Amino acid sequence: MESTEGRSRIVAMSQSILFVHHGSIDGGAPFSMLYTMQLARDLGYKPSVLLLMPSPELYRLYEDEGFPVHELLGIAQWYYLSAATMSWKRPGTYKHLAKLLFQWNPSKRIFQQFLSLHSFDIVHLNSVVLINLAISMKENHQQYVWHVREFCPSQDSWIKRFFRRNLQQTDELIFLGRAEQVSWLGNDTQGTVIHNFVPTDRFNDSVDGRSKRLELGLADSTPMLLFVGGIRKHKGGLTFLTALQQIRREHPELEFVACLPGALADDPALGEPVLRLIDEHGLSDVCRPEPFRTNINEYFAACDLLCFPSEMPHFARPVVEAAALSKPVVISDIPPMTDYVNPGHDAYVCRQGDANSLAEQIIAALSDRERMAEMGKRLHESFQVQFSPEAQSEKLGQVYRRLLSK
């Protein structure tokens, strides 16, 4: 007799899911979505992807995994996080909102025209910034999942209330954590928490870090600090460089190299400001900025310490990647990542935006490398339980089954 799981898989095999990616190749979102698509495929669904900011790199990322790729231009995105934190005295705020208003209805029309030419059972929106597409699907009684990856700004405004109202009117929401869910909806428990996770076939102890260290010209004895995400304020890039400058000045005996994949653009001209900033901090001899790399797991395998001093609350997938490879981390004392660690036991924690505090934590780690390695092992043990792909897969399957049963 066929099992319930087997029958569910047969039913799923006829169901197609369109994943809509809002951004470029930079950052963790395209990879998080890729891993979610792989889970959906393992569950028996047929995923494909729609790129709103297409590039050859994004096409390769998904096509190399066997997923059909579409693209659609001219779709407006409401970058609420940026607009909310910008002063209303800045012209850029009004420019962004004016462009959004101008493109709002045309974007909905373009998207519906695309959907009319294809057949999808579910649309999986990969970011809160795709609010106009969510509204469009709600108006047309179409099945969609709204995957909210962002942390909502704390200040109240009509924009936040507008987003919240539309989130509350959505049948299936996914949040990266309870903290993100609370930031948008308060104490409302609507939606499903599905943590960012990493595939164990790409992030495990068998990943070769020595080859990457040889490629970077690092001796086995040289500690490697890893900073990912680009020199952006919300990632804590300037705080990181300032902390390294302080360490060099006050502890010249400490040897280290800092690798920064994602800090440079493929266009050399766009990378000049980053190189100039590194030079101004006197760090050109120890900093290795590089363009964004898809083989990021090799950098994690090669490093000794991940530094992620974020200055704005958001879920840090690099911390999960580091934990998968038993690598220790330094993070800021802000949610949501502080909800998942035990400071001083399985993670080093610095004060938000405080270069002195970050420098102290890096020095503490480099000065006791045996304890640093032990911290990484403890983080691995903790995150294995909290962020297992198997647990997230079960919750994702439940979301899709509920939606399809309506």
CATH number of the domain at 44, please: 3.40.50.2000
Strand partners, 70: 50
Paired sense of beta strands 305-308 and 224-226, if any: parallel
In single-letter form, the type of residue at position 207 comes to V
The dihedral formed by the CA atoms of 314, 318, 320 and 325, expressed in degrees to the nearest 10: -170
In single-letter form, the type of residue at position 191 comes to G
Provide the pLDDT for residue 271: 59
Total domain count, the chain = 2
Radius of gyration over every alpha carbon of the chain, rounded to an integer in angstroms: 22
Alpha helices in 86-129 (DSSP H): 91-116
Residues 13 and 156 in one domain: yes
Residue 227 covered by a domain: yes
Residues 216 and 175 in one domain: no
Residues 308 and 382 in one domain: yes
Residues 245 and 128 in one domain: no
Residue 260, SS3 per DSSP: strand
Q: Which helix (H) or strand (E) holds 308?
A: strand 305-308
Residues 223 and 99 in one domain: no
Residue 204 covered by a domain: no
Residue 276 covered by a domain: yes
Residue 101 covered by a domain: yes
Provide the pLDDT for residue 7: 43
Residues 188 and 232 in one domain: no
Residues 152 and 294 in one domain: no
Token pair, residue 193, equals 């928490």
Provide the pLDDT for residue 2: 43
Contacts of 67 (CB under 8 A, 6+ apart): 37, 47, 48, 49
DSSP category for residue 69: E
Q: Which of 365, 359, 84, 323 is nearest to 236 (CA)?
A: 359
Asked whether 350 and 309 are in contact (CB, 8 A), the reply is yes
Residues 150 and 214 in one domain: no
pTM recorded for the entire structure = 0.87
Q: What are the Cα distances from residue 77, in Å, to 36, 312, 391?
A: 22, 20, 31
How many angstroms separate the CA atoms of 235 and 58, rounded?
Answer: 22
Which pairs count as long-range contacts for 2-9, CB under 8 Å and 24+ apart, including other chains? 8/44, 8/397, 8/401, 9/43, 9/44
Paired sense of beta strands 69-71 and 224-226, if any: unpaired
In single-letter form, the type of residue at position 25 comes to I
Residues 397 and 317 in one domain: no
Provide the pLDDT for residue 4: 44
Residue 202 covered by a domain: no
Residue 312 covered by a domain: yes
Report residue 361: phi and psi, to 5°: -70, -40
Residue 291 covered by a domain: yes
Token pair 């709103």 in the structure block, residue: 52
Residues 81 and 141 in one domain: yes
Token pair, residue 76, equals 């407006």
Residue span of the structural domain in which 352 resides: 210-386
Residues 377 and 392 in one domain: no
Contacts of 185 (CB under 8 A, 6+ apart): 164, 167, 168, 191
Contacts of 310 (CB under 8 A, 6+ apart): 234, 235, 236, 316, 331, 332, 334, 337, 352
> pLDDT digit of tens for each residue in the chain (406 aa)?
444 444 444 455 569 999 999 988 877 889 999 999 999 999 999 999 999 999 998 999 999 999 999 999 989 888 766 545 556 677 777 777 788 888 899 999 999 999 999 999 999 999 999 999 999 999 999 999 999 998 888 777 788 889 999 999 999 999 999 999 999 998 888 999 999 988 888 898 889 899 999 998 999 899 999 999 777 778 888 899 999 999 999 998 889 999 988 777 655 555 577 888 889 899 999 999 888 777 889 999 999 999 999 988 888 889 999 999 999 999 999 989 999 999 999 999 999 999 999 999 999 999 999 999 999 999 999 998 888 899 899 999 999 999 999 8
Residue 205 covered by a domain: no
CA 104 to chain centre: 26
Provide the pLDDT for residue 406: 81
How many angstroms separate the CA atoms of 181 and 189, rounded?
Answer: 8
Residues 152 and 259 in one domain: no
